Structure 1
Amino acid sequence: MFVVFLIIVATNSFAQQPNIKEKDSTKIAQDSINKAEFLKNIGNGYLPFNYFNLDLRYLVKFNQFEGLRTGLGGITNNRFSERFRINSYLVYGFKDKRYKYSVGGGFRVNESSNTWINLSYTDDLQETGSSNFLTDKRFFTFFEPRLLNIDLFHRHITKSVGLQHKISNHLLSETQLATSKINPTYLYNFILGDRSYNTFDLSTAKLSLQWSPFSRFDVEDGSVTETKDGYPKFTLQLTKGFKSVFGSDFNFSKLDFRTVHQLNHKNDAVTNFTLVAGIAGGETPLTHLYHAYPNNITKETILQRFSVAGLNSFETMYFNEFFSDKFSTLQLKHSFRPFKISERFKPQLVLISRYAVGTMSSIERHQGVQFNTLEKLYSESGFEINKLLFGFGLSFAYRYGGYHLPNLEDNIAFKFTFNISI
């Protein structure tokens, strides 16, 4: 809520201009461009200043391990330099009483292909079982509901160098070489032969490709701009861990894939499909395996589990309930045209179904964490009624199929939703 308040104040301050009876048309056009650029930055999670943009992701967060997490971060903008950039953040967790930080930067080696070489040093936490694509666009929401209930983190100290390159307008690539020291914050031992690891070093290489074959691009003011966000989109990422390179302990490989498709109907309804799959082989610790994006806390009653629904999470799947080294998820959403009850009150009904399947080989290697596997098909379906009041709505989901639980209410998730856009 603090972040939302800050953005509203900043937006209003920017919009307030002294009343001038006569303005030059060029000045009016420039003001319009500046305001559009300002709102674009806010939508991407940045509050722009003269030479740098404040990163709103680091102001206020909360999770079960750190409690309240707050700090500051930012990145230099084009006014500082169009060829160099510096980005960093510093945050503090009040529950674990630790500072986390990152220092990085980059320099552009080719403007036409938007080729950058990036360097970073990071000492922070990461959710165990999470997997991110290097080529993902910056994703920002005012409120990230899953963070509230996550408790399984591992600390990592990572040094990395990366190459960001646009192969074509439709195909983006990013490569990264990194070394990491991994220290789980929970009781965990990775067993290999007669040796047990509770902390370990990793040296990895990643190659990520994002292909948007149906997007449209035009040249505007000398730069290429995406004018049509076309679907489907495809993302592929290969990760390779090298044993004995810079002291690395394990040799493993991972392949991650995601495709997103969207159908826009004539009645303003929208249907979304998201397919995600991953496979990990070799000596892969639990920290770098997969969960299926769960978002349900382990409490006895429905009301005790009442929280906020995520954007693409399994609302009836409990945190740390499943882990896999091979998995796939399919999510289907159909958003009906908003109901225009009044100019300001336009709730929207969304139907949702989610499915997950997976497996785990050599499960005996992972000691200290109790979890299940997803050999049977996991299924949940439900609905959301969004934007009922100040961006808040309600969601309902029901768990059925191969992992239906004996107690009926344990299969039900009833939560808030929160949707707001700039």
Structure 2
Amino acid sequence: MLKHVFAIILLGASSIALAQIDSEKQVKEKSKDSLKKRVFLENIGLGYFPTKYFNFDLRYLVKYNQFEGFRTGLGGVTNEEFSDKFRINGYLVYGFRDERYKYSIGGGVRLNEKTDTWLNVSYTDDLQETGSSKFSTDKRFFSFFEPRLLNIDLFHRHITKSLALQHKISNHLLSETQFAISRVNPTYDYTFISGGEAFNSFRFSTASLSLQWSPFSKFEFLNNKIEETVNGYPKFTAQFTQGFGDVFKSDFNFAKIDFRTIHQIDYDDESVTRLTLVAGLASGETPLTQLYHAYPNNIRKETILQRFSVAGLNSFETMFFNEFFSDRFATFQFKHFLKPFNISQRFRPQLVLISRYAIGNMKSINQHQGITFGTLDKLYSESGFEINKLIFGFGLSFAYRYGAYHLPSLGDNFAFKFTFNLSL
């Protein structure tokens, strides 16, 4: 009898232990699946489709602009499953209107895991918008739809070889140092006059240092790595670029300083105020390809309806493409996001009030031949609003141009467009 009771107790205890092990296993499996899902969504949000060893870059699948027409291709980068010591990245795309392939190939070696120090090399043969600039330390930004790209028509081709050192000085301070050699050919009629000589193509040898400082962000050790848990403001980014003449056959000596600060105020009622200041200064012999525009986003058509397109995220909606260029400029943008209208759980449109200002100048405008443009020596002003997320991420935008650069024809001062905001 006791044997039977003992056997029953033992069997019951074993069943409970097995059930507990099975329960723990299920929890671990669910936790593992949840982590995989989170990592997958994070990659998609950054514009990558992850596979076991290689993450495909969604930015290269399909794009459209006025010079290339449709542009399509494939690209990506190896992931940590392939190796956490080195990576290989690249892309190959084709433009159907200009009938040219563009490509890039590169790689990196991790020198120090704690400081996330990487030595990167790349070779790129591609197009770049004239007057555009970017900070090397910027985090990767991905949008399923890049509205401003649709209307850009002023590109230059560049073949660039670069060597860069990416280093985290601290959690709050990121740096990237780069040396690059470039051959640049404008795709439009343009001549730069320097020292009595006319240049239609350019060679550059440049060294740059980029710093990004986020003093108010907070970081924690999560999932075996340091992650930003509080996205603090304001944030500051600065970049210094020096061009060396006669180094690797470079044509020009010049220097550039770029600066940006972003401040955001979050209120308890879900409303947000965002302030952005961007400035740049170029000195020396600097062709138009290396100078600045103020991120215009208006096409030259007769009526406001013919100019109807899609508003950018941080662009001047009433400023025409190629209307202004500067060798020194500053822009200030004010955006206030009101509390979303709580019409239903799924339908929550949001009103955004916007004002933008730009000022700039150019020292030697006569050096730039073959293209006509103005300068921003007076204050450029536009204000308006957006109503976002009306349907499937789309909304509407309205802006009005006023002040020193108000145009004689009233209709030319208005911009009425779609907006597109999609969150994963």
AA partner of residue 328 (structure 1): A
Name the CA distance, whole Å, in 2 between partners of 1:360 and 1:189.
16
Shift of 1:220: 1.9
Residue in 2 that maps onto 1:302: 304
For these two proteins, the number of residue pairs brought into alignment is 402
1:384 partner SS: strand
Shift of 1:266: 1.4
Residue in 2 that maps onto 1:51: 53
Residue in 1 that maps onto 2:4: none
Correspondent of 2:173 among 168, 171, 174? 171
Matches within 5 A, 1:244-393: 244-393=246-395
Name the CA distance, whole Å, in 2 between partners of 1:192 and 1:38.
52
Deviations 1:29-56 (A, max 9, x none): 1000000000000000000011010000
AA partner of residue 211 (structure 1): W
Name the CA distance, whole Å, in 2 between partners of 1:167 and 1:238.
17
Shift of 1:382: 0.2
Structure with bigger gyration radius: 2
Name the CA distance, whole Å, in 2 between partners of 1:376 and 1:200.
31
Correspondent of 2:39 among 37, 40, 48? 37
Shift of 1:222: 3.5
Deviations 1:258-305 (A, max 9, x none): 000000011110000000000000000000000000000011100110
Shift of 1:219: 1.4
RMSD over aligned CA atoms reads 0.9
Deviations 1:191-239 (A, max 9, x none): 0122100001100001000000000011124321111000000000000
TM-score (norm 1): 0.94
Deviations 1:121-148 (A, max 9, x none): 0000000000000000001001001110
Residue in 2 that maps onto 1:407: 409
Shift of 1:421: 1.1
Matches within 5 A, 1:3-152: 24-152=26-154
Name the CA distance, whole Å, in 1 between partners of 2:96 and 2:367.
33
Residue in 2 that maps onto 1:14: none
Name the CA distance, whole Å, in 2 between partners of 1:25 and 1:345.
35
2:180 partner SS: strand
Q: Which runs of 5+ in 2 are unaligned?
A: 1-21
2:133 partner SS: coil
Shift of 1:374: 0.3
TM-score (norm 2): 0.94
Name the CA distance, whole Å, in 1 between partners of 2:196 and 2:296.
33
Name the CA distance, whole Å, in 2 between partners of 1:54 and 1:135.
22
Identity %: 71
Name the CA distance, whole Å, in 1 between partners of 2:423 and 2:346.
14
Name the CA distance, whole Å, in 1 between partners of 2:185 and 2:216.
42
AA partner of residue 58 (structure 2): L
Residue in 2 that maps onto 1:15: none
AA partner of residue 266 (structure 1): D
Name the CA distance, whole Å, in 2 between partners of 1:146 and 1:258.
20
AA partner of residue 89 (structure 1): Y
Shift of 1:386: 0.4
Name the CA distance, whole Å, in 1 between partners of 2:73 and 2:225.
34
Q: Which runs of 5+ in 1 are unaligned?
A: 1-20
Deviations 1:234-264 (A, max 9, x none): 0000000000000000000000000000000
1:256 partner SS: strand
Residue in 1 that maps onto 2:9: none
